[in-house]
Amino acid sequence: MKLQTALGRSLGTSLALGVTAALLAGCGGSDGDSDPGGDGNGASQYADGGTFTMALKGDPGKLDPQSSASSQLFTVNQLAYDNLLSVDAESGEIESQLATEWAVDGKTVTLTLADGITCADGSEFTASTVADNIAYVGDPKNKSAYLGVFLPAGATAKADDAAGTVTLQLAQPAPFVLNGLASLPMVCDSGMKDRKSLADSTAGTGPYALTEAVPGDHYTYEIRDGYTWGPNGATTDEEGMPDTVVMKIVENEGTAANLLVAGDVNAAQVIGPDVKRLDAQGLFAAETPALQGEQWYNHNDGHETSDAQVRMALTQALDLGELASVSTADAGTPATTLAAIEPVSCPGDSVSGSLPAQDVDAAKAVLAGKEFTFLYSSAAGSAVAAAAELAVQQWEAAGAEVTAKGVDETALQGAIFGTGDWDISWVPLNVNSPDQLVPFLSGPGLADGGTNFSGIDNADYAAGVEEASALPGSEGCDAWLAAESALVAAADIVPFANNLVKTFGNGAEFETPGQLVPTSIRMLAQ
């Protein structure tokens, strides 16, 4: 379902580690509401101004929008920063944002910027600023999580400020390059010149600007007048848009649900048992299909899971169907592809026919006496925590000793991209095109400046990626899906559950195709 026209119907795809409020692209709407914002007779029920408060499951940490792939940072990014393009959540078609025209000719991408784009500090946003952003993200020394994900490795850019155009030259074919640019946040000149300032302030062209940051508690943003270059031409001059947006840190999902019912927050993502309670309240809900259950192993030296036989045994010890049921509170479905956010660039099923079957006896022969550290997000809700407990029981029944740790998003990110103190982790990585996953599933690891945090090295996957990348767009989908199947069959990664992730609203409506779309927020008259 989709709120129409004034609600800013497009967005960029997105990427985040963790189940998101609507992580990484999908169609937001309300259950059974065919007249959003109306009274059934076409009369508006929107209220101008006011404050929209959203419960955020964890602190976003450093606010530099190009520094991290965490779902919390990606959510707040949308308020203050724009992307070069957007993607229609239903059709998957590329649409405008900062750029109003675009063309791809082989390995050359040309973008023409909208007229009159300004930053929150009043300065002009130019083609040269875009080129500077491309250079920053494209430099491996800066360790941006988006290099190779939203920006192809080796890409360079030249600007023509007089014409308002930017020309990207790709080092190799990139079949979904425009989709990636629809998720790459652009930083204004002041932030590019003083990168440290972005840790606790914003320097973007987005519809809102940060005015207060209280880490661990809340982040406050104020609307920008004169904003006209949002997704597919969305503006801030629309009835019902809030003047203020507050992102309030509420790590406990049950607490967030209670605040929502009481009207103390206007939006909260809920994926556990509280969904049924909120559905019964008849609250508005924006829905996003997403990959919720995805198991990773640490393939790097010094870990028991560096052994392919051990990874296979840990997978064979599990009843993945039961884990999917428990982790989604019986609301989910089996995983089908690694890139699961709608509009899915390569629909199909690379998973179900490739997952290793449960074989506890085979697992026992390998796992007896081995010890493992298992991490999952404490912000993922009680259903995921229950599933994690069940997984530990199944591993221990196969002879393994497993220490499970439910940690907050900051600690999880720190372990995965920093300390490496983990053997098994549940980290759903949600995107809508398979090429965006390549740096996380192959290539250089963290020690070599890459983002392949688990150290996967699968020759069949690499060969499949090479074949798929040489084909334009969806023509390579069969090869992309076959490459994913190679990873799953080897138990290099184990996707086991999809879910329809709901972001509930009280006193407001909005879209969450990938993430909350700021220009779609509408405050409802009481």
DSSP per residue, 401-413 = EEEEEEE-HHHHH
Residue 140 placed within a domain: no
Helix (H, G, I), strand (E, B) or coil at 80: helix
Give pLDDT, residue 30: 34
pLDDT tens, residue by residue, 372-426: 999 999 888 889 999 999 999 999 999 999 999 999 878 898 899 899 999 999 9
pLDDT tens, residue by residue, 240-283: 999 999 999 998 989 999 999 999 999 999 988 899 999 999 99
Q: What is the end-to-end Cα distance of the chain in Å, rounded?
A: 24
| Cβ-contact 12, 506 below 8 angstroms | no
Question: What's the token pair of residue 315?
Answer: 């997978």
Rounded CA-CA distance 325/320 in Å is 9
Give pLDDT, residue 133: 98
Q: Is the pLDDT of residue 26 over 80?
A: no
pLDDT band of 501, cuts 50, 70, 90: confident
Q: Is the pLDDT of residue 317 over 50?
A: yes
Q: What are phi and psi of 381, to 5 degrees?
A: 105, 170
- What residues make up the domain containing 379? 288-501
Across residues 314-318, what is the average pLDDT? Answer: 98
Rounded CA-CA distance 425/427 in Å is 6
Instruction: Choose among 178, 173, 176: nearest CA to 107.
Output: 173
DSSP per residue, 227-272 = ---SGGG--S-STT--SEEEEEE---HHHHHHHHHHTS-SEEEE-S
Rounded CA-CA distance 61/57 in Å is 12
| Cβ-contact 311, 519 below 8 angstroms | no
Residue 151 CB partners (closer than 8 Å, separation 6+): 134, 137, 138, 180, 181, 184
CATH classification at residue 339:
3.10.105.10
A 10 A CB-CB count for 460 gives: 15
Give pLDDT, residue 288: 85
Question: What's the token pair of residue 149?
Answer: 């994900």
Residue 254 placed within a domain: no
Q: Give me the number of domains the chain comprises.
A: 1
Residue 344, amino acid: V
Q: What is the number of alpha carbons within 13 Å of residue 198 lying toward its C-beta?
A: 24
pLDDT tens, residue by residue, 334-358: 999 999 887 888 999 999 999 999 9
Question: What's the token pair of residue 340?
Answer: 């699961």
Residue 345 placed within a domain: yes
Rounded CA-CA distance 315/372 in Å is 13
Give pLDDT, residue 91: 83
Question: What's the token pair of residue 465?
Answer: 């990626």
pLDDT tens, residue by residue, 193-235: 999 999 999 999 999 999 999 999 999 999 999 999 999 999 9
Helix (H, G, I), strand (E, B) or coil at 194: coil
Q: Is the pLDDT of residue 63 over 90?
A: yes
Burial class (CB within 10 angstroms; exposed 0-12, middle 13-18, buried 19+) of 408: middle
> Cis omega before residue 495 (within 30°)?
no
What is this structure's pTM? 0.82
Q: Is the pLDDT of residue 43 over 70?
A: no
Q: Characterise 45 by phi-psi region: left (phi > 0), alpha (psi -120 to 50), beta (else).
A: alpha
Across residues 454-475, what is the average pLDDT? Answer: 94
| Cβ-contact 70, 61 below 8 angstroms | yes
Residue 446 placed within a domain: yes
Residue 352 placed within a domain: yes
A 10 A CB-CB count for 466 gives: 12
Residue 170 placed within a domain: no
pLDDT band of 23, cuts 50, 70, 90: very low
Instruction: Choose among 377, 413, 375, 410: nearest CA to 59.
Output: 410
Q: Is the pLDDT of residue 10 over 50?
A: no
Give pLDDT, residue 514: 72
Mean residue pLDDT across the chain: 89
Residue 484 CB partners (closer than 8 Å, separation 6+): 337, 338, 350, 351, 434, 461, 464
Q: Is the pLDDT of residue 22 over 90?
A: no
A 10 A CB-CB count for 473 gives: 15
Instruction: Choose among 37, 52, 36, 29: nearest CA to 525.
Output: 37
Across residues 27-54, what is the average pLDDT? Answer: 60
Any idea which residue has 């699961």 for tokens? 340
Angle between helices 308-316 and 360-367 (to 10 degrees): 140
Rounded CA-CA distance 302/37 in Å is 56
Residue 81 placed within a domain: no
Residue 338 placed within a domain: yes
